[in-house]
Amino acid sequence: MNRRTFVSATAAALLGPRSSRAAEGSATVLLREQIGTISPLVHGHFVEHLGGVVYDGIWVGEKSKIPNIAGIRKALVDDLKRIHAPLFRWPGGCFADSYDWRDGVGPREKRPKRLNFWAGSPMLRKLENHPAKYEPNEFGTNEFMRFVQEAGAKPYLAANLRGMTAREFNGWVDYCNAPLGSTTWSEVRGTPPFQVEFWGIGNESWGCGGDFRPEEYSVEFRRFTSWAPGFGVPLKFIAAGPSGGDLDWTRGFFESLVRKSPGLLRRVWGWALHYYCGTAGGPVEFTTEEHYELLGRAARMEQLIRDHWAIMGEYDRGHRVKFAIDEWGAWHKAGSEVAPHHLFGQIGTMRDAIIAGLTLDIFHRHADKVAMACVAQLVNCIHSLFIAHEDRMLRTPNYHVFDLYRSHQDGMAVRTVFGAPMSGKAPRLDGSASWHQKDNRLVVTCTHADAAEPLAVDLRLEGGAAKEARARVLAGAPRDHNTFEQPERVKPREMAVSLRQDRLSFEMPPCSVAAIEMTLG
């Protein structure tokens, strides 16, 4: 019997009579088994100049009738503040390795128009003169920084490694970070420094970022990060990591880096694993079997973290390099976009919300390994939190998951054991917990995959007791989603919990994501 089975079995044996209606699940929170602090940055977002993400999603322009802050959609900023959005990665994605940051600075009316990286996709090819096809560069570095500042977040810039030189990259750092008036670029910027710490060195360098082999990319990474002046800001470099289970990419990069000098590990702050769990069925139309199948694929993230981490540890014994999983999500087939230029635009359903909860819980459970993560992408795209077109905007069920999960930020992740039978290929019940020393608070989040039946959950605290508890839940049928006509169809509500010191019981509705907050005694 392994530890997981033992704790579940013990918990099950100790628990009292169960609800006759719902199936049974158990959860144990081991308060003394601390994993690591949950960095707020694992709740980060990704913004690319792709389809309707920037133009129509974020940027509406200063002259727009849509309420805006210096051209930025105000409703979006307001909602992002509410969920404590911590970080935005920009400007790509594949777009980043085609982008010349100098096109997006200086007076807006003088900025050049360029062919967008994604212009050749069948969907955009059909369009005439559209910003998704011909990049107008209205939204450049200053506009992005304004967006980040308004949302109260941090910027993470992805540098063009495929098409630009290390010198030009250094120029962007100068533009962002040099004290005002000290360099020519700082004068063009014309604002106080942006103090950008996080810099991605290329994107998917095994593919759209240059078709490199890992050892070749390692050379480029070293060139770009060698003596890069930060202008007083400690630069944190994120190296382009593997696609899903490509362990050779991880091995090849670290092998080559360490062979040159083990000290070079200090240059890598984050290792950018990308994982899209794909689709099963359509974005909105899918069978129950496809629902479970996709959740099962999403749960693969945990094994990917373990596998790549083990290889990283062969070269980096002290594990100073952590994961920056800067693209993740469920990438569905086309067909549900609300506007013809919303490339990869998809409606988010309750199934996607469970994937969001499942994935964030995995990051929390590996808080010692995952330092940053960005869901792809913020608006009008893959696994988005928002859909916005012209003057209309809605929050998808994913948004509500980020809202439910935000209380984990900065907490100490503690070990949890969840016990319930599988639902098809998906874990029926899973979750994470964090303890917050400041106010002796415990946050537990969990996902319940079953499409039809509720689940009675007995939650036991080992090493503490709760004085009070309150819970919220997001629930619906797997295909449920919000529309412009019914934007509030799926939203969280209060969930009843009954508390007896170290024991809590509650009933998870079918297909649901819950957050329970307890004050410990």
What the block records as the tokens of 168 is 């030009």
Q: Nearer to ligand AHR by C-beta: 90 or 224?
A: 90
The only residue of 26, 141, 203, 346 in contact with ligand AHR, by rule CB under 6 A: 203
Residue from 25, 93, 140, 509 binding ligand AHR (CB under 6 A)? 93
Q: How many CB atoms lie within 10 A of CB 82?
A: 13
Using CB under 6 A as the binding rule, whether residue 457 contacts ligand AHR is answered as no
Q: Is 158 in the site for ligand AHR (CB under 6 A)?
A: no
- Tokens (6 digits) for 400: 């509500």
The yes-or-no answer on residue 204 being catalytic is yes
User: In terms of CB distance, is 143 or 327 closer to ligand AHR?
Assistant: 327
| Smallest distance from ligand AHR to CB 331, Å | 8
User: What residue spans of 373-415 are helical by DSSP H?
Assistant: 397-405
Cβ proximity to ligand AHR: between 98 and 141 the closer is: 98
Give the closest residue to 344 by CA, choosing from 389, 283, 285.
283
Q: Could you give the CA distance from residue 430 to residue 446 in angstroms, rounded to a whole number?
A: 5
State in angstroms the smallest separation of the CB of 327 from ligand AHR: 6
Q: Measured from the CB atom, is 201 or 420 closer to ligand AHR?
A: 201
Instruction: Pick the closest to residue 88 from 136, 149, 131, 132 (CA basis).
Output: 149
Positions in 372-391 near ligand AHR (CB under 6 A): 376-377, 382
Q: By rule CB under 6 A, what string of x and - marks binding of each residue 36-55 to ligand AHR?
A: ------------x-------
| Separation between Cα atoms, residue 193 and residue 176, nearest integer Å | 6
HSE-CB at 264 with a 13 A cutoff on CA atoms is 21
Select from 135, 143, 204, 316 the one that contacts ligand AHR (CB under 6 A). Answer: 204
Comparing CB distances to ligand AHR, the nearer of 203 and 445 is 203
Counting other chains too, the contacts that 249-252 makes at CB distance below 8 Å and 24 or more residues apart are 249/206, 249/214, 250/214, 250/308, 250/311, 250/312, 251/214, 251/311, 251/314, 252/213, 252/214, 252/215, 252/218
Active site residue 453: no
Q: Which residue's CB is nearer to ligand AHR, number 343 or number 518?
A: 343
User: Of 53, 94, 164, 201, which one interacts with ligand AHR (CB under 6 A)?
Assistant: 94
Distance, in Å, from the CA atom of 472 to the CA atom of 407, rounded to the nearest integer, reads: 12
C-beta of 204: minimal distance to ligand AHR in Å? 5
* Residues of this chain, 303-362, that bind ligand AHR according to CB under 6 A: 327
> Which residue has the closest beta carbon to ligand AHR?
93
Determine, following the binding rule CB under 6 A, whether residue 135 of this chain makes contact with ligand AHR: no
Which 396-435 residues touch ligand AHR, going by CB under 6 A? none
Choosing from 327, 337, 507, 517, which is the catalytic residue? 327
Burial of 480 (0-12, 13-18, 19+ CB in 10 A): middle
Longest dimension (CA), the chain: 73
Distance between CA atoms of residues 378 and 366, nearest Å: 23
Neighbouring residues of 56: CB distance < 8 A, sequence distance ≥ 6: 339, 341, 342, 380, 388, 389, 390
Complex with ligand AHR: residue 204 or 361, whichever CB lies closer: 204
CB 40 within 8 A of CB 86: yes
Q: Which of 51, 92, 281, 509 binds ligand AHR (CB under 6 A)?
A: 92
* Shortest Cβ 379–ligand AHR spacing (Å): 13
State the catalytic residues: 204, 327
The site for ligand AHR (CB under 6 A) is made up of 48, 92-94, 203-204, 327, 376-377, 382
